[in-house]
Structure 1
């Protein structure tokens, strides 16, 4: 095909002259709004960010119509009660891109104006089970729109729905789906136009798409920017005769959206500028919880004829073209894993590009080993191009049939035309035994996980050592590594010494924990270390891993803590004072804090922060009570009787 780029001004070109003649009578009355959509995203806590993406005609739009702020109203869906208003300031202005920038035309340029504001959805307020909606009203649309009545006076209401933020007494967080960014593409009359409106949902909700009539609302040309949005219901734009919600752009087929993917398609039969509406609804557990809508425009023009490219795939070892549905490519170890491709285009000077797309699998795609693009039917260029597509040695379909699309695209305007051949294949990879990892660490509970890691208890100040061994029957290169989960091994004074090599790898792990390690981990959670054995080979299996949790224990107390409870301060040298030689030992920051002795009436009679304290009584016999405290909050209570 021959690429045609429209630029303004160009004299003497019939196609562009017709396009300009069609537009010029309406330029004086054209206004500014191309379309837009609202977006509500959860940020943190009760804070949400409300955004309006407003698409503005950068060629004929009136700059004075761009507002520094726009107000949004939030209403209860079931009652239309106004809850609050959110004022959104203009944040950014950028140009909407074309799929193929070389196909841009001087009469079509769109700016994206982003209005945004953060606000709070109070969980004590936004609890209505019917949900809520947000609306922004503005006027007016482009006067040159072809498919609605009186477009220059038609307003626009941007609209989304969201659920209550509390459901069944629990927080219910939801962000609206984000529709694929718009493009400035135009459609060629009589040619299939395609456009990806599919969105992504931050919460993983299911999405469904349908065509909707754009909302008009309450704004007017006399009051184009109301200071406050009005509650629903909102009037709809009025379609011209013969058009409807399911027939928004005259075509064969008319404009339609794939309910699952959000892909728009139309083969327009009429020239003009057409407004259309698409709704994206989100479902959680099969229940609809919200929706967002996008209004946009599509310009349909006459384009030069563009013939689609053609490709032919030949299977390894044959000269016959591959036929989907009848042939299956079977890839085996040490066999030919490459397809031969020939591709061309009947149009002179066409620039062609090859690509591939996985249909029903994920993972590594085959690669082109020769050039994947080129020009055909031009001076000094061939009529047919060739490429070689080779599958990796380690592709393994596990007995299933995988599907791969081989695609050639031209550089046609407004959108590339394609030829796609679907290839069915099966593949097995060369045999490779997984490496084996053993160690002197204790066994871990099953199933293996971080929560079920092997646990090693090490006494503070004592050294612990372990060894690891990796082996591989195929003699592939092995490597042992150790990584701390959220910490550096060397910083924790852990030593890991690997010796890696073909078919065999060994390593030694040594650690003498100190109080620094206790301070970093506490005494219960410990330090998690991942020991991994990886193999370098033609088809690397999953690495083998051992996860070990190291817990530092205090030095055991030499004797049980059983303090005496009778003293006889009579000076005979036996049992004259109360003291505690067998107090639990200090453990890093867990230290003896002090002792307080109280009379039977609760009055303190003795205090000390010395571990080696001695108390000889108060000269008065009777029962006394003590409280021993440690810096980690541990407490020991008891009594002692003084017998003079």
Structure 2
């Protein structure tokens, strides 16, 4: 029912518009390029006949329709505005003819393609339909009534749950060239693909589609399939125009070739398929047309190749192989001419099986022959450098001379087979100039080793000397080669190694010194020079003597104890010696706090193999609060594998000797001169913060009867009745003594 309504609307529309008479379409193609995110740019390039086309047929926009492949479900229609209108250039402007001029119209717009909308596994296609083709086309039926469908296939934007980005291949832009009857015509339609997909080309039948003279520009494209044009009798997709050979395209190159045998205007189509990992993912088609005319007769230029050293001989293609030998003439001479008057000739050199950048520049690239003041034969020459070497392989070089004939240049090509030999080269040598008397070299830590190394090359090539280590990195142990002098074929460098502790672990170091020369950019090295160095190392433990009391040198044993009374000063001397004369370091460190906090200090001095320390301690109350005060004295030899010596000393502040504390428990204040007072001469002595604070005496009812803060107090017991009294003695550190004393008159 929907199809019926659409058809009825189209018929009504056709009845309301006049029959289009314009014959203007030359060809064109669609292009889809990924931009970023979900953005793509869709472009229609339409080629328009600027000579026969009607200006009214130049559209300001085009409508592209996108469908799902397989189901033909319409996804959306896209309006493409006209963004450029230019002329297609000729290969050679001098070949321009008045009957052939082509405009290039570009319609383009950004579109968004999300995975949700463009995720069908079969992919999609986009089409634009337009009528009409040139009415004078000679190889299809009713060309003036034939429309054109621009067609492109592209994959889904997601595959296996991952984003699948793809840009369609871009076919090389066409030129406004024409072909000459019975002359070979060639043209490069080979494209480029931004994704580096594989491209395959083939001839295709142009699509007609649904557009016609009554509806030249449908409001939207219809889904596939699309009608094809009808070939004239005797022609087909594989024989699209009369020719010997007929029109064909290189499957992998995209190069069009034809030798037309009939004049006229011929339409053709090319299909380019893109493959990724062997799977076809897209397709783009181009329609175009080729004009064949009767051209003025143009003769092919003539090229002669002369072998090296023999300017009169002629190289015979397919039979001769030129040999470029070392020390001999290595130049090829080319003579080229053309019997046509005022023929401008161009020389091109194309390497076939070796890098193009190795081809020398010719002395002459272009010139004109058979013109006033010009020679009839042009001469050019290339000379291969001495270092050029084909390594026994036969190299192929195409020497091509082309004229400026219309519509395309005529060419004469000679494929030159040749070999080239580089000059002989001797391997450089390496030796020690002031080498050691015996190997391996005996070295010790701290020693500087220096030897001069000589690199020689009899070919006078530049020589470089390189240092490495067998099983180790020479630079990482501090060894190096320092350049001394350089001259052609002669290099002197100095081996320098300040042996340090990094060399102790390995012991034997085998240094490799080689000479390298680079004639003709081909590195050659000498036989390796082996320089073995044995690093000898031994170490005796240093000795530490002190004036501390005797004790064990093992830190795990109980420490030596030094005691001093308050205010006392203790001094000690430490002497370190080392039989290896290594530098010595003498240190002292507290196990709980630093020396200064403990009232201690130590100064040191020394020379190679000796170290002296002066230690001093002043005993203070501050020290007493830090006890125990343990100090570790360490003597370390400054060598690769030190054997430190240690002493652990404990410092203590002497407490004063206290008599036995036996307080009296009775006294008789009767003034008989005996036991008249209550006093405590045997109280614990004062020490730093542990000092006598006060004594308080209470009655048995708790009344204070006496108080004193003097350590030498004397209570006379007067004014108190006979009986038992209680005393409390307090110290500043919180200690206290309690007891009773009886007063007897």
TM-score, length of structure 2 as denominator length: 0.55
Alignment of 1:34-45 (within 5 A): 34-45=26-37
Partner of 1:167: 159
Q: Distance in 1 between matches of 2:376 and 2:167?
A: 52
The 8 Å contact of residues 274 and 298 in structure 1, kept in 2 or not, is answered as: yes
Looking at structure 2, the residues matched to 288 and 236 of structure 1 have their Cα atoms a distance apart, in angstroms, of 23
Residue 179 (structure 1) shift: 0.8
User: What is residue 416 of structure 1 aligned with on the other side?
Assistant: 409
Structure 1 position 288, deviation (Å) = 1.4
Distance in 2, matches of 1:381 and 1:310, equals: 17
Q: Does 1:33 align with 2:25?
A: yes
With over 3 angstroms needed to count, the CA separation of the structure-2 counterparts of 1:376 and 1:81, relative to structure 1, is: same
Distance in 1 between residues matched to 2:163 and 2:292, nearest whole Å: 47
> Equivalent residue of 1:364, what SS?
helix
Q: Gapped runs of 5+ residues in structure 2?
A: 1-19, 430-452, 467-481, 494-515, 526-623, 627-745
> Residues 165 and 478 from structure 1, CA distance in 2 versus in 1: closer, same or farther, beyond 3 angstroms?
farther
Partner in structure 2 of residue 386 of structure 1 = 379
Instruction: Tell me, in whole angstroms, the C-alpha distance in 2 between the residues paired with 1:278 and 1:202.
Output: 20
Structure 2 counterparts to residues 208-247 of structure 1, below 5 A = 208-247=200-239
Q: Deviations over 1:560-587 (max 9, x none)?
A: xxxxxxxxxxxx999xxxxxxxxxxxxx
Aligned with 2:197 (options 180, 183, 205): 205
Q: Which residue of 1 aligns with 2:65?
A: 73
Which structure 1 segments of 5+ residues have no match? Answer: 1-27, 437-468, 481-496, 507-534, 545-571, 575-644
SS at match of 1:199: coil
- Find 1:98's aligned residue among 90, 99, 113: 90
Report the secondary structure of 1:274's partner residue: strand
The question of 1:108 aligning with 2:100 is answered yes
> Quick one: distance in 1 between partners of 2:208 and 2:484?
73
Alignment of 1:484-633 (within 5 A): 539-540=520-521
Q: By how many angstroms is 1:543 displaced?
A: 14
Distance in 2 (CA, whole Å) between partners of 1:212 and 1:369 is 42
1:353 counterpart (346, 350, 356)? 346
User: Quick check: 1:372 aligned with 2:365?
Assistant: yes
Change (3 A) 1:500 1:249: farther
Q: Is the 8 A contact 2:317 2:415 kept in 1?
A: yes
**40-49 or 293-302: bigger deviation:** 40-49
- Asked if the contact 2:81–2:108 (Cα under 8 Å) also holds between the matched residues in 1, the reply is yes
* Residue from 152, 176, 186 that aligns with 2:178: 186
The structural deviation recorded for 1:334 is 3.0
Aligned length: 446
Indicate how the Cα distance of structure 1 residues 127 and 398 shifts in structure 2: closer, same or farther if over 3 A, else same.
farther
* Counterpart check, 1:339 vs 2:332: yes
Alignment check: 8 A CA contact 2:305 2:314 kept: yes
CA contact (8 A) 2:275 2:282 kept: yes
Structure 2 residue 323 is the aligned partner of structure 1 residue 330: yes
Residues 22 and 57 of structure 2 are in contact (CA less than 8 Å); yes or no, is this contact kept in structure 1? no
Q: CA deviation at 1:358?
A: 1.6
Q: CA deviation at 1:422?
A: 0.6
**365-374 or 469-478: bigger deviation:** 469-478
Q: Distance in 1 between matches of 2:46 and 2:425?
A: 57
What's 2:559 paired with? none
Counterpart residue number, 2:281:
289
Residue number in structure 2 paired with 1:601 = none
Aligned to 1:176: 168
Partners of 1:119 and 1:200 lie apart in 2 by 22
Aligned-partner Cα distance in 1 for 2:420–2:387: 9
Distance 2:428 2:357 in 1: 23
Contact 1:368–1:387 (8 Å) recurs in 2: no
Offset at residue 470 of structure 1 (A): 14
Q: 1:317 to 1:149 in 2, by over 3 A?
A: same
Higher relative contact order (CA 8 A, sep 6+): 1
Contact 1:248–1:276 (8 Å) recurs in 2: yes
Give the distance between the partners of 1:111 and 1:478, measured in 2 at CA: 63
**Kept in 1: contact 2:129–2:221 (CA 8 A):** yes
CA contact (8 A) 1:434 1:541 kept: no
Superposed, 1:1-20 pairs within 5 Å as none
Q: Over residues 109-150 of structure 1, what are the superposed CA-to-partner deviations in whole Å (9 max), with x where a residue is unaligned?
A: 111111111212212232222221111111111112111111
Partners of 2:366 and 2:463 in 1: how far apart? 38
TM-score (normalised: structure 1): 0.64
Match of 1:54 among 46, 53, 57: 46
Displacement of 1:169 after TM fit? 2.2
In the alignment, what sits opposite 1:10?
A: none
RMSD: 3.3
